[in-house]
Amino acid sequence: MIIVTGGAGFIGSNIVRGLNARGIDDILVVDDLSDGRKFRNIADANIADFLDVEAFREKIRAGQSFGKLKAIFHQGACSDTTEWDGRFMMDNNYECSKELLWYCNENKAQYIYASSAATYGAGTNFDESQDTNRPINVYGYSKWLFDQYVRRHRDQIEIQVTGLRYFNVYGPNENHKGSMASVAWHFNNQVRDEGEARLFEGTDGYADGAQLRDFIHVDDAVKVNLWFLDNPEKSGIFNVGTGKSQTFNDVANAVISWHNKGDIRYIPFPDHLKGSYQSFTEARLGLLREAGYEPEFMNVEDGVASYLDKLNVGNREK
C-alpha cells in the first residue's frame, strides 16, 4: 500500500498518475474534498480507496493499520501563502506532518513529504542548510519548522525521511487552486480570453516583469518523488527546482508564443504583497545531484508548451 495525502490536489494527483504509469494502483488517496471540483484530478486514476483527511488523521492517531505500508507521499497542506490563520496553518501543515512521520517510523514505511522554497523567504541563498531560511509568511514558517523538527529528531528516526523543497511548480491539475495556481495557468487564461498577460511592475530593484523564479514542471517534480521511492536509503532535505531561474516575462512570452497572439501589460505591484513576496528564487541542486539524481529539467519554454498542449486542447490560434 502507498498512501498519497493531498492525492486529489495538484502535485499529489500527478504522483498518483506517475504510480499508475508504473502499474501501481494499491493506493490510498487522502484529501479534503470540501471543494468537490478536485475529484476531476483523480477521476481517471486507478486507486484502492479514498479517505477524508480528518478521518485519516483519526485512524493514524489510533494506530490503525492500512495493511502492509510501503510509503507515504505527504503532499497534503494548506499552500496559500496569503493565509494568516496561524492556528489552522500549524495544525494542518505542521502537526499533521509530525503525526505521519512517527506513524511511518513505527510501520517502517518510507516518508516522502512536501516542503517548500517558501522556507527561504526573504533569503537569497537557496541551499538546504539550516541558516538560509527566512520565511516571510506563516505558510513558509510551517514548512520550515517541520524541516527543523525532522533534523532535530534524526537520531530517533529509523526510516527514509525525505523533504522536497518545491520551487514554483506548474502543470496539469492545478485548475482548482484559483489565485494560488501558477502564473502559467493565469497567463494562459488571460491571453486566451483577453489577448494580454498581466504582469507586476518592477519591484525590489527588478524591471517590469523581470522578477526571477525557478519554475519547474510538475512532471519533473513527480520524477524526483518517484526516484526517492526507488532509493529508500536516501534521506534528507532537497531542493526541487530546475536550478535555473527565469523571468515572469519568459513565462508570459512562452504562453503568447503558444497561442500565437497576445501582449504583455504591466500592472502596479499590490500593496498587500509588499514585504511578503519573493522576487528571486533559484534552487541549488548540489545535494540532489550528490544523492544520485541525474535527469535534467524542462526549461520554461518547453515546459509551458507541454502544459498548454494539455490545457488547451483544440484552442490554439492558427
Question: What is the pTM assigned to this prediction?
Answer: 0.95
Closest of 5, 85, 81, 113 to residue 281, by C-alpha: 81
pLDDT at position 21 over 60: yes
pLDDT at position 313 over 80: no
243: left (phi over 0), alpha (psi -120 to 50) or beta: left
What residue has cell string 515546459? 303
- Give residue 248's Cα distance to chain centre: 18
pLDDT at position 316 over 70: no
pLDDT at position 317 over 70: no
Is 257 domain-assigned?
A: yes
Closest of 76, 63, 105 to residue 3, by C-alpha: 76
Q: Are residues 139 and 277 both part of a single domain?
A: no
Please tell me which residue, 112 or 92, carries the higher pLDDT value: 112
pLDDT at position 318 over 50: no
pLDDT of residue 280: 93
pLDDT of residue 314: 53
Task: Supply the Cα-derived Rg of the chain in whole angstroms.
Answer: 19
Q: Are residues 82 and 142 both part of a single domain?
A: yes
DSSP, residue by residue, 189-222: HHHHHHSEEEEEPP-TTPPTT--EE-EEEHHHHH
pLDDT band at residue 210 using 50, 70 and 90 as cut-offs: very high
Q: Are residues 61 and 160 both part of a single domain?
A: yes
User: Could you give the CA distance from residue 83 to residue 93 in angstroms, rounded to a whole number?
Assistant: 12
User: Could you give the CA distance from residue 77 to residue 261 in angstroms, rounded to a whole number?
Assistant: 36
Q: Are residues 9 and 104 both part of a single domain?
A: yes
CATH assignment at residue 189: 3.90.25.10
56-65, 76-85, 106-115, 161-170: the lowest-pLDDT one? 76-85
Helix (H/G/I), strand (E/B), else coil: 247: strand
8 Å CB contact between 10 and 169: yes
Helix (H/G/I), strand (E/B), else coil: 299: coil
Cell numbers for 115, please give them. Answer: 516542503
What pLDDT, in 10s, does the model give residues 169-201? 999 999 999 888 999 999 999 999 999 999 999
pLDDT band at residue 79 using 50, 70 and 90 as cut-offs: confident
pLDDT at position 315 over 60: no
pLDDT band at residue 271 using 50, 70 and 90 as cut-offs: confident
pLDDT band at residue 241 using 50, 70 and 90 as cut-offs: very high
Helix (H/G/I), strand (E/B), else coil: 96: helix
Is 123 domain-assigned?
A: yes
Q: Are residues 104 and 155 both part of a single domain?
A: yes
CATH assignment at residue 92: 3.40.50.720
Cell numbers for 66, please give them. Answer: 492500512
Q: Are residues 105 and 208 both part of a single domain?
A: no
User: Could you give the CA distance from residue 87 to residue 309 in angstroms, rounded to a whole number?
Assistant: 40
Please tell me which residue, 180 or 212, carries the higher pLDDT value: 212
Please state the domain count of the chain. Answer: 2
pLDDT band at residue 121 using 50, 70 and 90 as cut-offs: confident
Q: Span 130-152, mean pLDDT?
A: 90
Q: Are residues 232 and 247 both part of a single domain?
A: no
- Average pLDDT score over the chain: 94
| % of the chain with per-residue pLDDT over 70 | 98
Q: Are residues 89 and 235 both part of a single domain?
A: yes
pLDDT at position 212 over 60: yes
Which residue range forms the structural domain that includes residue 148?
Answer: 2-167+217-240
Is 59 domain-assigned?
A: yes
Helices 96-107 and 138-152 pack at an angle, to 10 degrees, of: 30
Is 272 domain-assigned?
A: yes
Q: Are residues 83 and 55 both part of a single domain?
A: yes
User: Could you give the CA distance from residue 261 to residue 274 in angstroms, rounded to a whole number?
Assistant: 32
Q: Where are the beta strands (DSSP E) in the chain?
A: 2-5, 27-31, 49-52, 71-74, 110-116, 161-166, 168-170, 196-200, 212-213, 215-217, 236-240, 246-247, 263-267
pLDDT of residue 150: 97
Is 291 domain-assigned?
A: no
Q: Span 14-42, mean pLDDT?
A: 96
Q: Are residues 60 and 128 both part of a single domain?
A: yes
Q: Are residues 143 and 253 both part of a single domain?
A: no
Is 315 domain-assigned?
A: no
pLDDT band at residue 214 using 50, 70 and 90 as cut-offs: very high
Q: Are residues 181 and 79 both part of a single domain?
A: no
Is 83 domain-assigned?
A: yes
Is 269 domain-assigned?
A: yes
- Give residue 84's Cα distance to chain centre: 19
Residues annotated as catalytic are 139, 177
